[in-house]
Amino acid sequence: MSGFKLWWIEGAFAILLLLVPGNLGWGKEGHYATCKIAESFLTEEALKAVKELLPETAEGDLASVCSWPDEIKHRYNWRWTSELHYVDTPDFRCNYDYCRDCHDSSGVKDNCVTGAIYNYTEQLITGYNASNSAVNYNLTEALMFLSHYIGDVHQPLHVSFTSDEGGNTITVRWYKRKTNLHHVWDSDIIESAMKTFYDKDLDVMISAIEKNISDTWSNDISSWTNCTSGEEVCPDPWASESIKFACNYAYRNATPGTTLGDDYFLSRLPVVEMRLAQGGVRLAATLNRIFDSRPSIAHKLASFGNIQPTCQISSS
Ligand SMILES: *[C@@H]1O[C@H](CO)[C@@H](O)[C@H](O)[C@H]1NC(C)=O
Ligand SMILES: *[C@@H]1O[C@H](CO)[C@@H](O)[C@H](O)[C@H]1NC(C)=O
Ligand SMILES: *[C@@H]1O[C@H](CO)[C@@H](O)[C@H](O)[C@H]1NC(C)=O
Ligand SMILES: *[C@@H]1O[C@H](CO)[C@@H](O)[C@H](O)[C@H]1NC(C)=O
Ligand SMILES: CC(=O)N[C@H]1CO[C@H](CO)[C@@H](O)[C@@H]1O
């Protein structure tokens, strides 16, 4: 009986999610866009590895499963993952520090979005060649989590103030509709852009972003994708960028009760589009480095050490 009850509740919840659009991370569109952009930059070898790891339901398309971590995070068995979608930083400091900030609400270290990015990158590195059978991670899940969290860490309000829960408690109006600031950045800006500029078609929006990647931003790509010591992944500078964007763009002129309209929309959209581009390009670079069979020396060195920062154990 309880099995049936649970099934029913999950079913009802899934329907609720369908009825309440964009109750998710970057919303469904943002994650789809990030992963779609990433797909177009994967090397042949990385694409092959990704396709081997994808669940069958994906039908070979990474973007189609990039919202999976949002779909499961409220289920009982997966509740522990819900704090891996973001990192809270001290109010009004406008900076981020892995050792200070990366923990969950009960203080458990590494349980935050950047910790999760290190975690799932390491699982893919160690697990992909089956010779390393010491630990048996589910690499399908690791790939879906990594792809999702690299998207999330680029959403400025996923690296933002603690007391307002990343803008979730800041009630605002988006044009006429009541919403909250977090949701504006997850979904409303993207959805309004689709309606206003892209023929209500996400693929048209993605093409516009891809076009900018290949011209306007083409000289920036190498600085977007490099990691200082040749690590496979470096989410800490990405998180630092996010909190800066949160302070300079997301929170600015968006105090509780504000109505956000054209001024806010048109000035913030370029930031959203660039963050989607950076998330996509960096996800591809990360997957390419993980699955590259001829790694550089720096890459080899990084793989054998721990890529995660080492934190002093605090005495308090
Ligand atoms: C790392 O992944 C394992 C397996 O999914 C999980 O149990 C653990 O909580 C994860 N930790 C972080 C910080 O992501
Ligand atoms: C790996 O994870 C996926 C998604 O949760 C699941 O469908 C699959 O059964 C898992 N594979 C194994 C071997 O547990
Ligand atoms: C592309 O770049 C131009 C010039 O910086 C900018 O005006 C435009 O909004 C960008 N479009 C997208 C989709 O990123
Ligand atoms: C996995 O092993 C194969 C065969 O030995 C090798 O060609 C490939 O480079 C390895 N891949 C990784 C990611 O280490
Ligand atoms: C993460 C990282 O190391 N980024 C560096 C990439 O390269 C640019 C330009 O050389 C640096 O400014 C970044 O700090």
pLDDT in tens, 204-261: 999 999 999 999 999 999 999 999 888 899 999 999 999 999 999 999 999 999 999 9
pLDDT over 50 at 17, yes or no: no
Residue 4 lies in a domain: no
pTM of the model: 0.89
pLDDT over 80 at 177, yes or no: yes
pLDDT tens-digit map of 150-163: 999 999 999 999 99
Residue 210 lies in a domain: yes
Distance 54 CA to ligand 2 centre (A): 10
How many domains are contained in the chain? 1
pLDDT over 80 at 14, yes or no: no
What is the residue-averaged pLDDT of the chain? 89
Residue 202 lies in a domain: yes
pLDDT over 80 at 5, yes or no: no
pLDDT tens-digit map of 89-138: 999 999 999 999 999 999 999 999 999 999 999 999 888 766 655 667 89
Alpha carbon nearest to ligand 2 atom 14, residue = 138
Residue 8 lies in a domain: no
pLDDT over 50 at 15, yes or no: no
227 within ligand 5 shell (Cβ under 6 A)? yes
Q: In this structure, which ligand is nearest to the CA of 141?
A: 2
Residue 274 lies in a domain: yes
- Which amino acid is present at 93? R
- Classify residue 230 as left (phi > 0), alpha (psi -120 to 50) or beta: left
Residue 314 lies in a domain: no
**What pLDDT is recorded for position 56?**
96
Range of the domain at 98: 15-307
User: What residues contact residue 135 under an 8 Å CB cut-off, 6+ apart?
Assistant: 123, 126, 127
pLDDT over 70 at 186, yes or no: yes
228 within ligand 5 shell (Cβ under 6 A)? yes
Query: What is the domain-level CATH number for residue 286?
Result: 1.10.575.10
User: What residues contact residue 75 under an 8 Å CB cut-off, 6+ apart?
Assistant: 10
Average pLDDT over residues 166-172: 98
Q: Which atom of ligand 4 is nearest to the CA of 125?
A: 13
Residue 3 lies in a domain: no
d(CA 191, CA 184): 9
User: What residues contact residue 268 under an 8 Å CB cut-off, 6+ apart?
Assistant: 185, 189, 249, 250
Residue 7 lies in a domain: no
Q: In this structure, which ligand is nearest to the CA of 272?
A: 3
- Classify residue 94 as left (phi > 0), alpha (psi -120 to 50) or beta: left
